[in-house]
Amino acid sequence: MKGKVHFCELGGKVSVVAGLLIFSLFPITSGCSTSRSKMIDDPYSKTCDGDNMAGCNNLGVMYYNGEGVPQDKGKAFELYTKACDGGDMAGCNNLGVMYDTGDGVPQNKEKAIELYTKVCDGGDMGACYNIGLMYDNGAGVPQNKGKALELYSKACDGGNMAGCNNLGVMYDTGDGVPQNKEKALELYTKVCDGGEMDACYNVGLMYDNGAGVPQNKGKAFELYSKACGGGHGLGCNNLGVMYDTGDGVPQNKEKALELYSQACDGGEMGACYNIGLMYDNGAGVPQNKGKAAELYSRVCDGGVARGCANLGVMYNNGNGVPEDKGKAVELYSKACDGGNMAGCNNLGRMYFNGNGVSPDKKKAKELYKKSCDMGAPSGCDLLKKLEGEEKE
């Protein structure tokens, strides 16, 4: 237990961050071989003015990204439109991405799917993938897993690795198709061999957990290392977990901290949480409650419910931060709403005891039941105890 108050212990390491990875939208640039790093008054403005539509698209890419020119989404939109109207499919796809995301133009999913369909029908697999993503997520169209499967398959067969990865996710999770781990592994491996780090991470996850393949920590280590080396934050985090716990490799807290830091600096909140846990417990680093609180606060703001729960414990106990029962209640509530069982249990205790809130045993009971329903034995025990008291 943590401190003098009977609260749940801090959570364990994040070895698996929820959900397999889905690639984001797939903007296309033209295959033009001229360097896009040159200033616009050299190749592209001239080629676009001369009705070279691939040049218009490439110039649009430069304005969209601010590469060699000041970033100007409006100018990019204008150039993509000209390229598309002139028959350049890359321009149509990129125009679709802008409408799809509402980036630089008012969001218009109907217009996006119209453009993507035009490009997909013209044989560009990136656009087929983009339509598949819309059907997969029900974004702008009614969700249709069968249609998503069809489009991902078409994209994959045409050499689009994002399509293959997402097709693998569907087979891996049984989402819209009968679950088939063997098929998922085949697809992930194809994509990983093609240099996509998301897929390497997904294969590593399968070997790490023995999901559809014999568990093989050495193979998981190899794949996480490859993903991490390719800039994949989750790969670095999970590699850090292996070093942190000595799971499949000799334990090395220093190496774990290095990997967590790399992932955290790249925006991976699970890794930031893991660093916070190390500072909180003084595991591999000098104990520093203030640093732990700072990291938990960051990950809580970033949507990691476990970080909210741990920060709540610190405020409840006045451990590393000034004691503030009201703040603890706020944080436990946020954690519970985010699906964290410890947060629900701890919030229930606050209501039961009237700490930071008015006593409310009915509310406490609801929270214990929620925790129990999520699979927390401690929540079930607390619920049973409270129900027993009510009968006395």
The DSSP secondary structure of 324-375, one letter per residue, reads: -HHHHHHHHHHHHHTT-HHHHHHHHHHHHHTSSS---HHHHHHHHHHHHHTT
Kindly calculate the radius of gyration of the chain based on its CA atoms and give it in whole angstroms.
25
Question: Between 22 and 91, where is the model more confident?
Answer: 91
Alpha carbon separation from 33 to 187, 195, 210 (Å, rounded): 30, 21, 44
pLDDT in tens, 271-323: 999 999 999 999 999 999 999 999 999 999 999 999 999 999 999 999 999 99
Question: Between 30 and 309, where is the model more confident?
Answer: 309
According to DSSP, residue 271 is labeled H
Asked if residue 59 lies in contact with residue 46, where contact means CB atoms within 8 angstroms, the answer is no
**Cα 48 from chain centroid (whole Å):** 38
Burial-class residue 39 by CB neighbours within 10 Å (0-12, 13-18, 19+): exposed
Mean pLDDT of the chain: 85
Q: Report the pLDDT value the prediction gives residue 37, as an integer from 0 to 100.
A: 34
- For the cut 60, the answer to whether the pLDDT of residue 46 exceeds it is no
**Cα 173 from chain centroid (whole Å):** 16
Fold designation for 288-392: 1.25.40
- For the cut 70, the answer to whether the pLDDT of residue 7 exceeds it is no
Provide the phi-psi class of 28: left if phi over 0, else alpha when psi is between -120 and 50, else beta. Answer: beta
pLDDT in tens, 68-122: 899 999 999 999 999 999 988 889 999 999 999 899 999 999 999 999 999 999 8
Asked if residue 242 lies in contact with residue 270, where contact means CB atoms within 8 angstroms, the answer is no
pLDDT in tens, 131-176: 999 999 898 899 999 999 999 999 999 999 989 999 999 999 999 9
Confidence of residue 39 (pLDDT cuts 50, 70, 90): very low
User: Using a CB cutoff of 8 Å and minimum separation of 24, what contacts does 145-150 make?
Assistant: 145/170, 145/175, 145/176, 145/177, 146/176, 148/176, 149/176, 149/177
Q: Which residues contact 307 (CB under 8 A, 6 or more apart)?
A: 269, 272, 273, 276, 295, 296, 297, 298, 299, 300
58 CB neighbour count, 10 Å cutoff? 26
Confidence of residue 392 (pLDDT cuts 50, 70, 90): low
Q: Report the pLDDT value the prediction gives residue 185, as an integer from 0 to 100.
A: 95
- For the cut 70, the answer to whether the pLDDT of residue 9 exceeds it is no
According to DSSP, residue 159 is labeled T
Look up the pTM and report it.
0.77
Domain boundaries, the chain: 288-392
Q: Report the pLDDT value the prediction gives residue 68, as an integer from 0 to 100.
A: 87
